[in-house]
Amino acid sequence: MYQNFEQNKQYLQSELQTEVNFDLVSRDITIGNRKAVFFFIDGFCKDELMQKLLQFLMGLKEEDLPQQASELNLVMPYVEVDISPDFDVILKNILSGVFAVVIDGYEECILIDSRTYPARSVSEPEKDKALRGSKDGFVETVVFNTALIRRRIRSTDLRMEILSAGQESKTDIVLCYMDTRVDHEFLKKIKNRIKDIKVDALTLNQESLAECLFTSKWYNPFPKFKYTERPDVASAQILEGNIIVLVDNSPSAMILPISILDSVEEVDDYYFPPITGTYLRISRFIIFLMTYLVTPTFLLFMQNQQWIPEAFKFVIVKEEMNVPLVWQFLILELAIDGLKLAAINTPSMLSTPLSVMAALVLGEFSVKSGWFNSEVMLYMAFVAIANYTHQSYELGYAVKFFRIINLLLTALFNVWGYIIGIAVFIIAIVRNKMVSGQSYLYPLLPFSFKKLGKVLVRTRLPKSRE
């Protein structure tokens, strides 16, 4: 800060444009017969608390004021108080909602963190639900989210480091991890990548951060991050040695690193007994593979009906096919996405009648019209529903893209196209890497029997570490 009080005041008012911005408040006061000014954002400060702090400051006499701001900090009747002489730090704090006081004769600015953010109530996430367990979920305020994790992990080993990214937005980013369990080399790499981010703003919060952290090849759609809106899932991942990334204004947490096997795990596996959790987990893996294989395999057998055993001849399409099977599958792939987009944008009061209309028109009349065969509708309905057996939206679309590739290759090159399609699918997974640099198929590559067993089989809770 400058030595002159008026210069400091004018500089801050000029940078904050208090005459233009109605919500950025600047007010002159007198503290102990000295000129002072305070800055804050209207709507971020707690009125009753600020009134009491101002009563304390304005009630000080000249002989009560210490020589240094650091000495005044010691007698402030509030917990979260800091001082700084750096204009960049002061401006960032004011724009974050911190109450700033500049007093004539002090070389530092007093920063009082009395902010309160507008926030919705903590409730169960709409998408990330569980049959049992807690019903709270993350919200858009990062401080509330860290408190939900602290409530579950009451350990001095838990670390929550705050960083920021975006030259204009200065978005708060919190790294949550257990100090004795995390991979410190990977943690250092993530910190350095966040510090090296050179963008104006993280306009899309977590997605913008994910793209800055890991610039993956555009043609490999498999997700590098897993997202959750549940504090219990985030806490469990922290205890397993993973890193949780919380971004301010985002109601979900990023989990990293994750493999493709981690993407298919769900919280319900742990809220049921081990045998039930194991069954659910294995079922989810099988259904995940079926969503990729069902339609290309059906198309292959329809092109080579002589391969179908006598006992399974009933799967053969008996009605006349007015549209080739491959085109039926491709049209339905697009139509299902259209229904998803329509469901997102449909007002809740219209969702029920429109759902009934869609079921009648697209279900019954599409078959009667001759555009689609009933067998095709059946298998595509299975694929559409089975995609929701796992929580990862990105993984579902990755499988969808490779399923469409396999359908096209099978239609063009028959059995060799089917084999090439599966080979492309496997190669895309094998050549993919986690953010940490490990294989995307770990613990299959490199093979770890103990870890693989833990992924496939729901075991009992581990004993406490000594």
Cα distance between residue 92 and residue 103, in whole Å: 19
Residue 444 lies in a domain: no
The pLDDT mean for the chain works out to 86
Rounding to the nearest 10 degrees, give the CA dihedral for residues 421, 426, 431, 436: 140
The CB-side HSE value for 220 (13 A sphere, CA atoms) comes to 19
- Shared domain for 171 and 219, answered yes or no, is yes
- pLDDT classification of 322: cutoffs 50, 70, 90: confident
| Mean pLDDT for the stretch of residues 329-358 | 78
Domain extent for 387: 274-430
Instruction: Give me the pLDDT at residue 419, please.
Output: 96
- pLDDT classification of 464: cutoffs 50, 70, 90: low
465 has pLDDT over 60:
no
Instruction: Give me the pLDDT at residue 461, please.
Output: 58
- Shared domain for 20 and 153, answered yes or no, is no
Length of the chain counted residue by residue: 466
- Shared domain for 378 and 246, answered yes or no, is no
Instruction: Give me the pLDDT at residue 59, please.
Output: 87
pLDDT per residue over 30-62, tens digit each? 998 899 999 998 888 877 888 888 888 888 888
Instruction: Give me the pLDDT at residue 330, please.
Output: 94
| Mean pLDDT for the stretch of residues 285-313 | 92
- Shared domain for 248 and 278, answered yes or no, is no
Instruction: Give me the pLDDT at residue 295, please.
Output: 95
Q: What are phi and psi of 309, to 5 degrees?
A: -60, 155
Instruction: Give me the pLDDT at residue 410, please.
Output: 95
**SS3 (DSSP) at 9:** helix
Rounding to the nearest 10 degrees, give the CA dihedral for residues 288, 294, 295, 299: 150
- Shared domain for 245 and 157, answered yes or no, is yes
pLDDT per residue over 105-159, tens digit each? 898 999 998 887 777 777 878 777 777 778 888 998 888 899 999 999 999 999 9
Contact status, residue 34 vs residue 62, Cβ threshold 8 Å? yes
Worst-scoring range by mean pLDDT, 324-328, 355-359, 395-399? 355-359
Q: Give which of 79, 141, 143 is closest to 111, Cα–Cα.
A: 79
| Mean pLDDT for the stretch of residues 210-216 | 78
> Where do we find the tokens 């001082």?
83
Residue 117 lies in a domain: no
453 has pLDDT over 90:
no
- Shared domain for 216 and 350, answered yes or no, is no
The pair of structure tokens assigned to 50 is 């600020």
**SS3 (DSSP) at 438:** coil
Residue 269 lies in a domain: no
Cα distance between residue 446 and residue 163, in whole Å: 33
- Shared domain for 415 and 298, answered yes or no, is yes
Contact status, residue 173 vs residue 165, Cβ threshold 8 Å? yes
- Shared domain for 225 and 289, answered yes or no, is no
Instruction: Give me the pLDDT at residue 216, please.
Output: 66
| Mean pLDDT for the stretch of residues 390-397 | 86
Residue 68 lies in a domain: yes
Helical spans, DSSP H, in 240-324: 260-263, 274-303
Residue 163 lies in a domain: yes
Residue 133 lies in a domain: no
Residue 422 lies in a domain: yes
Instruction: Give the chain's domain count.
Output: 3
- Shared domain for 247 and 353, answered yes or no, is no
Residue 437 lies in a domain: no
Residue with the bigger pLDDT between 374 and 158: it is 158
Cβ atoms < 10 Å from Cβ of 99: 26
Q: Where are the beta strands (DSSP E) in 368-408?
A: none
Instruction: Give me the pLDDT at residue 462, please.
Output: 55
- Shared domain for 94 and 197, answered yes or no, is no
Which residue, 112, 133, 151, sits at the end of a domain?
112
Q: Which residues contact 160 (CB under 8 A, 6 or more apart)?
A: 146, 149, 150, 174, 175, 176
* Sheet architecture: strand order including 34-41: 24-31, 34-41, 99-103, 109-112, 81-84
243 has pLDDT over 70:
yes
Angle made by CA atoms 343, 345, 351, in degrees to the nearest 5? 50
Cβ atoms < 10 Å from Cβ of 325: 21
- pLDDT classification of 328: cutoffs 50, 70, 90: very high
| C-alpha distance from residue 118 to each of 45, 140, 143, 144, 230 (Å) | 11, 9, 12, 11, 20
- Shared domain for 250 and 279, answered yes or no, is no
Cα distance between residue 255 and residue 12, in whole Å: 39
- Shared domain for 30 and 98, answered yes or no, is yes
Cα distance between residue 130 and residue 139, in whole Å: 17
Which residue, 258, 290, 310, sits at the end of a domain?
258
pLDDT per residue over 58-82, tens digit each? 888 888 888 888 888 888 888 889 9
Instruction: Give me the pLDDT at residue 85, please.
Output: 92
| Mean pLDDT for the stretch of residues 290-307 | 93
| DSSP one-letter code for 458 | -
Q: What is the DSSP string of 41-64?
A: ETTTB-HHHHHHHHHHHHT--GGG
